[in-house]
Amino acid sequence: MSRVSRMKRLSFDAVNRVEKCQNLQNRFDGQKVAQKVSGYTFHQDTDLLYTSLARERSRHKKKRLVQSPNSYFMDVKCTGCCTITTIFSHAQTVVPCAGCSLILCQPAGGKCRLTEGCAFRKKKS
């Protein structure tokens, strides 16, 4: 084996080791990891007990540290007659106003879509 081909072989092995480390790092993203791959050790320090609020919100509702639903009740103020109606955030039916029959929200697959101009606030549990 010539010297040039041996150098190419060594550089190819080094690239493979780095790629393996990056793949492992992507697989264990968000966890405390110390892995040794072909002589290389890497550490990824993330605190599992005190994760950021944005990261917790993006997780599935059953995989959070404390399970919590994504749905909520909200008070919606009608633009026509200014009455307040309580609506579920994931309503699956059209909700009309009790006073003037104006449509307050429409289902949209997940969360309901409020009529433009309606003010709302989340109800405290």
Q: How many angstroms separate the CA atoms of 78 and 31, rounded?
A: 46
Strands (E), 1-125: 33-37, 40-44, 73-77, 84-88, 95-96, 103-106, 113-114, 119-122
Q: What is the pLDDT of residues 14-68, one digit of tens each?
A: 556 656 655 555 555 544 445 555 566 656 666 777 778 888 888 888 988 888 8
- Helix and strand element counts for the chain (H, E): 2, 8
pTM above 0.75, yes or no: no
CA dihedral sign, ordered 47, 51, 52, 54: positive
- End-to-end Cα spacing for the chain: 74
